[in-house]
Chain A
Amino acid sequence: MARATDIRSAPTDLARGAVAFHVHGLTKIYRSGEVDVAALRGVELDIFESEVLVLLGPSGSGKSTFLNILGGLDRPSAGDVLFRDHHLTTMSERELTRYRRDHVGFVFQFYNLIPSLTAKENVALVTEIASRPMTPSDALAIVGLEDRQNHFPAQLSGGEQQRVAIARAIAKRPEILLCDEPTGALDSPTGVIVLQAIERINAELGTTSVIITHNVAIADMGDRVASFANGRIAGVVKNAARQPAKSLKW
């Protein structure tokens, strides 16, 4: 793996330039019964427009919490997240809903498809409320599932289900794609197909993509790799060259 210098917040170092997220002092404390559990302890990070950022780290290190806060699903206990000019931390519930609807696409480890809806309908669920979506068929074509549109989740393989989930996430043409362990439940060849779909969307739509994984092999497809440990970012490395998803193996 080719690594360059630690560039935790040095936008000028990056050719891409503009900052999508500016994260400062992000802290999240969960209160469970009488004990406080700190999931995030002062995270500092900038995420650049159109980059692919891979978040690595053992389970419980705070990756998912971080991703949820970026996506407007959760609120931090302290600190600030700036999305372009907007402070996510001060947004109302209604504004957060708007933010998710207009800007963010999610992909989850367990696909989270609605079992009672077909592939196409699962995608339509999102396109119906988005402002400038592609058609569900187009979105499914991007992930190579144009001929499986009318299948229910139970009739699709795990990889296919995850590609439907990706199609669902990108159909609204989001500026941000947040993927939480997208290949976690898949075998290597199926996982690669899914990652290729993410890669293609990043290339074609310039979508800023954040991918959580505990699989080190996947780190190679990112522009940068941030390592989480114990609620903090232990280090950020820039890959000298992104490896195409096709070449990844685990």
Chain B
Amino acid sequence: MRALDRKLLRDLWHVKGQALAIAAVIACGVAIVVMTYGAMISLRETRDAYYERYRFADVFSQLRRAPLRVAAQVSEIPGVAAAAARITYYAALDIPSLDRPASALLVSLPDEGEPRLNRLALREGRMPMRGRDELVMSENMAQALGDHTGAHLSVLLNGRKRDFTVVGIALSPEFIYTLPPGQLMADDKAFGVLWMPRRILEAAYDLDGAFNDISLSLSPGASEPEVIRRLDNLLARYGGTAAYGRADQMSNAYVDQELDQLRTVALVIPPVFLAVAAFLINMVLSRLIDTERESIGLLKSFGYSNGEVGRHYLKFSLVITAAGVVAGIAAGLWLGRWMTGMYQDYFRFPFLEYRMDPAVFSMAVLLSLLAAALGTWTAVLRAVRLAPATAMQPPAPAIYRRTLLDRMGLDRIASMPTQMILRHIERWPLRAALTICGSAMAVMLLVGLFFFFDAIDELVDSFYFRANRQDVVIGLVDRRGERARFDIAHLSGVRGAEPVLEVPARLSHGHVSQRLGISGLRSGTRYRAFYDLAGRAFTLPQEGIVLSNKLAGLLQVQGGDAVDVDVLEGARRHARLRVSAIAMEHVGLSAYMDQRALWRLTGEPHAITAIQALLDRAVQERLLKRLKDIPAVATVSTRQQAISALRETMAKSMTIVIDFYIGLGAIIAFGVIYNAARISLSERGRELASLRVLGFTGGEVTYILLGELALLVLAALPIGCALGYGLAWLMASAMETKLFRVPFIILPATYGIAMGIVLISAAASALVVGRRISRLDLIAVLKTRE
């Protein structure tokens, strides 16, 4: 090994603490890139493979009832590769171990063979046999209930209880993610999918030789909109509710949304880390070069060229970067595997392939090298430019001046050490600025990440408390008349009940259209509150239609504009409605109308699909049990249950991620502050030792060094908070999807926690450096020259 390389290794060893801190920051950036891209690629590949192997359909449509021959006509539509007709219904379940009603989506299985599309991935057991009351249960529900094959389950088929044996447990590409209708969060105990032989559903729902649900796959090159148009035409007279593609299929939309969000994280967060790494490399390297100016002059005097000297210091940062990249890739692979595994809990895949694209490694390496090059550039240039004769002489003593504060009279009130601190900062304003900048970045990152907790709280608060005030939403098996409300309202413990009508419709404005359910609420409803974009409450107008802000944005309409409304069932009427107001909502695309206006629109007065009710807390449990026995009830979702499900999911998935990010923030803070302190110490060691010789106490000397850092860190806190506000805003807007808007809200406590973590980090680095100050060699300092 060449002597110069040996010097490099020993120099690195000498600054190992600082080098490690930098490598750790680089490793964090690289790890996030590898982790998020790894998870993203794996998720995407797994989804694609799953869809292909289990023949996930491309187009879906629900209808009221059509004879099976229509299915044959559907498969003749040009561009359709295969069509699978079936029967689907929501039904209530009786699960004795559960204190609330449960429900399921019932899906028919062909009497012979496997479904042509949307095949099941059997995880356990077998498919139901003909002529027996057997079913296959979705894995999420089976796991939540602790059920295995052989378990018994009562299903209310069209109001009549029937006992089934669970013979299989399965997954389906249609239900990677399942949400109970009208809910924000999955509730696996109380909602699942059940597959059972077609004959059973046919008989129960009077659909002999008919179907109410059809899925299609498209041949390559087929136009999805064209197929959908023809399908809708064909199914219109059978009560078709407008077909939709994968983009509007709920489970698929959620997976897509998750992929989008992963991409956002992968795009926004790593650059922050790499910027900090570049900054740290610059800080350490330029100060190293300052302390090495003699060696640089010496090397040049021996005849080492500028290029050779430059390369020497370049290698210094390359070694650190390489260490960071290697550690980052290793950590990223491990974390990516873990994160992908976590999706197993969240999404349901029969297999999960952890894949990694080598291009991601190259990208991570390139980004890190770029950061290193940026950080190294100016420092190395200084080494190259240093004229040998100048380098050989000790640098001229730094010129200190009376500071602005001195001139304002501070020298009369501040102690000598305090004045030294202030003069040092004023003498090296750029250096001070960089330390502030680095610490501020740590605060920024933490605020920008912790903001998600506030966002989720706000989401829960706005959705479950401010907007929706009912304790329970009871979904009905069919369009009952308003009578059903009286039945439920008269149960003891119900403090009030209102009917809700949900009608599938297509809303269009210009070229844009969106398919969704319009909610018809009673005028002057007490259970649903509306807020306009300025946060003012308003009541549901009797005429026109209210759109959520996301929907209004999508359709590019404002209050007062007209939208075209096509009802997608019943008489399939059309109307042009005025947008009477726009309601602020974080989740989903929704439209609301006064119930009477909606009845007039559909031509079905008094039809309702659900009931929302307020319950007496004291008897809530008993009441929910009673609801289980009412045949008209299909689903029951309580607010309490939904919130605790949400919190549980968050606790499972978020806490580990957040712990990880706290670690990252702390590493950045530590990296910046520890480096600043160590470099200050190496530069000012002589000065500080001389002060000790003059009789200053260890504490006073420590104060001079660490007091300066404390001052800079304190100055960084508000700046970091301001930057964090910006980062949070960026994250919130980048994460916004069609279905979901991250509320932009940061609570004061979030700033507090972020600042606290940085302060603890700063204190830890102060402690480490402080111990070194106490070990300063007082004699050596007086012997050697400056």
Which A residues contact B (CB, under 8 angstroms)? Answer: 68, 71, 73-74, 93-94, 97-102, 104, 106, 108, 110, 112, 114, 116-117, 121-122, 124-126, 128-130, 168
Asked if A122 meets B3 with Cβ closer than 8 Å, knowing A94-B305, A97-B304, A112-B294, the reply is yes
- When distances are taken between beta carbons in the complex, the residues of chain B under 8 Å from A126 are 302-303
Is there contact, CB below 8 Å, between B2 and A73? no
Q: How far is the CA of A108 from the CA of B294 in the complex (A)?
A: 11
A125 with B301: in contact, given A97-B306, A110-B785, A116-B11 (CB under 8 Å)? no
Q: Does B337 contact A (CB under 8 A)?
A: no
Does B10 reach chain A (CB closer than 8 Å)? yes
Is A101 within 8 A of B302, CB to CB?
Answer: yes
User: Which of the segments B18-26, B385-393, B543-551, B751-759 contacts the partner chain?
Assistant: B385-393
Q: Does B525 contact A (CB under 8 A)?
A: no
Residues of chain A within 8 A (CB-CB) of B14 are 116
Nearest A residue (CB) for B13: A116
Which chain B residues numbered 305 to 340 have a C-beta less than 8 Å away from chain A?
305-306, 308
Q: How many Å lie between the Cα of A117 and that of B9 in the bound state?
A: 10
Which of B10, B301, B387, B785 has the largest count of A CB atoms less than 10 A from its CB? Answer: B301
Chain A residue nearest to B11 in the complex (CB): A116
Please give me the residue from chain B that is nearest to A102 by CB atom. B303
Question: Which of chain B's residues have a CB closer than 8 A to the CB of A114?
Answer: 7, 295, 298
Docked complex Cα distance between A101 and B301 (Å): 8
Nearest CB on A from B135, distance (A)? 75
Whether B7 contacts A128 by the Cβ 8 Å rule is no
Residues of B within 8 A of A102 (CB): 303
| Closest residue of B by beta carbon distance from A98 | B303
Q: Is B95 an interface residue, CB under 8 A from the partner?
A: no
A121 to chain B, nearest CB (A): 4
CB contacts (< 8 Å) of A93 on chain B: these are 306
Q: Contact: A128 with B301, CB < 8 Å? A: no
Find A100's partner among B11, B295, B302 (CB 8 Å cutoff).
B302
Cα-based distance from A98 to B299 in the complex (angstroms)? 13
Q: Which of B294, B295, B304 contacts A129 (CB 8 A)?
A: B304
Interface centre among A101, A114, A128 (most CB of B within 10 A): A114
* A-side contacts of B2, CB under 8 Å: 124, 128
Interface residue tally of chain B, by bracket?
20 to 34
Q: A100-B302, A101-B304 are in contact. List 14 more A-B contacts (CB 8 A).
A: A71-B301, A73-B300, A73-B387, A73-B389, A74-B388, A93-B306, A100-B300, A104-B301, A112-B392, A114-B295, A116-B10, A117-B3, A124-B3, A128-B4
* A128→B308 CA distance, assembly (Å): 12
A contact residues around B303 at 8 Å (CB): 97-102, 104, 126, 129-130
Q: What distance in Å separates the Cβ of B778 from its nearest Cβ neighbour in chain A?
A: 17
* B6 CB–A CB distance under 8 Å: yes
A100 to B306, CA, bound (A): 13
- In Å, the complex CA distance between A116 and B294 comes to 13
26 pairs, A vs B, C-beta closer than 8 Å? A73-B387, A73-B388, A73-B392, A94-B305, A97-B305, A98-B303, A100-B301, A100-B303, A104-B301, A106-B302, A108-B392, A114-B295, A116-B7, A116-B10, A116-B11, A116-B14, A117-B3, A121-B6, A121-B7, A125-B299, A126-B302, A128-B4, A129-B304, A129-B308, A130-B303, A168-B302
A100 contacts across to B, CB distance below 8 A: 300-303
CB pair A125–B389 under 8 Å, yes or no, is no
Main SS of the interface on chain B? helix
A-B complex: 10 closest residue pairs judged by Cβ atoms: A101-B303, A116-B10, A74-B389, A100-B303, A124-B3, A73-B389, A125-B3, A73-B388, A68-B389, A121-B3
Please give, as numbers and ranges, the residues of chain B lying within 8 Å of A130 by CB-CB distance: 303
Q: How far is the CB of B244 from chain A (nearest CB, A)?
A: 69
Interface residues of B (CB under 8 A from A): 2-4, 6-7, 10-11, 14, 294-295, 297-306, 308, 387-389, 392, 785
Q: How far is the CA of A128 from the CA of B302 in the complex (A)?
A: 11
With CB as the reference atom, state the residue of chain A lying closest to B294: A112
| Chain B contacts for A104, CB-based, 8 A | 301, 303
Contact B7 A117 (CB under 8 A): yes
A70 to B305, CA, bound (A): 18
Question: In whole angstroms, what is the CA distance A104 to B388 when docked?
Answer: 14
Instruction: Give the chain A neighbours of B302 by CB distance below 8 A.
Output: 100-101, 106, 125-126, 129, 168
Report A-chain residues with C-beta under 8 Å of the C-beta of B299. 125
B6: chain A residues within 8 A (beta carbon): 116-117, 121
Measured CB to CB, the closest approach of chain B to A164, in angstroms, equals 13
Q: Complex Cα distance A72/B38, Å?
A: 56
A128 to B6, CA, bound (A): 13
CB neighbours of B392 from chain A (8 A): 68, 73, 108, 112
How far is B14's CA from A129's CA once the two chains are assembled, in angstroms? 25
Nearest-neighbour CB distance to chain B for A134, whole angstroms, equals: 15
Chain B contacts for A124, CB-based, 8 A: 2-3
A190 to chain B, nearest CB (A): 15
Cα A102 to Cα B305 with chains together (Å)? 12
**Which of B3, B305, B308, B388 is the most central at the interface, judged by chain A CB atoms within 10 Å of its CB?**
B3
Assess the A125–B4 pair: CB atoms within 8 A.
Answer: yes
- The CA-CA distance from A94 to B294 in the complex, in Å, is 20
Contact A112 B298 (CB under 8 A): yes
A106 touches B301 (CB 8 A): yes
Task: Give the distance in Å from the alpha carbon of A152 to the alpha carbon of B302 in the complex.
Answer: 20
| Beta-carbon nearest neighbor of A99 in chain B | B303
Across-interface contacts of B301 in A (CB, < 8 A): 71, 73, 100, 104, 106
Contacts of B389 in A (CB 8 A): 68, 73-74
* CA–CA, A114 and B697, complex, Å: 33
Q: Which residues of A contact B4 (CB under 8 A)?
A: 125, 128
Chain B residue with the shortest CB-CB distance to A124: B3
Report the separation of the CA atoms of residues A76 and B631 in the bound assembly, to the nearest whole angstrom: 105
How many Å lie between the Cα of A98 and that of B388 in the bound state? 14
A105 to B308, CA, bound (A): 19
**Which residues of A lie under 8 Å from residue B785 when comparing CB positions?**
110
User: Within the complex, what minimum Cβ distance (angstroms) separates B543 from chain A?
Assistant: 82
Q: List B contacts of A129 (CB < 8 A).
A: 302-304, 308
Name the CB-closest residue of A to B394.
A110
Give the Cβ gap from A128 to chain B, nearest Cβ, in Å.
6
Which residues of chain B come closer than 8 Å to A98, judged between CB atoms? 303
Most buried by B among A73, A74, A98, A110: A73
Q: How far is the CA of A68 from the CA of B387 in the complex (A)?
A: 11
Closest chain-A Cβ to B692's Cβ sits at a distance in Å of 21
The minimal Cβ–Cβ distance linking A79 to chain B, given in whole angstroms, is 16
A112 cross-chain contacts in B, Cβ below 8 A: 294-295, 298, 392
Shortest CB distance B383–A (Å): 14
> CA–CA, A126 to B308, complex, Å?
13
A104 to B302, CA, bound (A): 8
Please indicate the chain B residues that have their CB under 8 angstroms from the CB of A121 in the complex.
Answer: 3, 6-7
- In the complex, A93 Cα to B389 Cα: how many Å? 13
Residue of A102, A106, A117, A125 with highest tally of chain B CB at under 10 A: A125
Which of B2, B302, B304, B392 gathers most chain A CB within 10 Å? B302
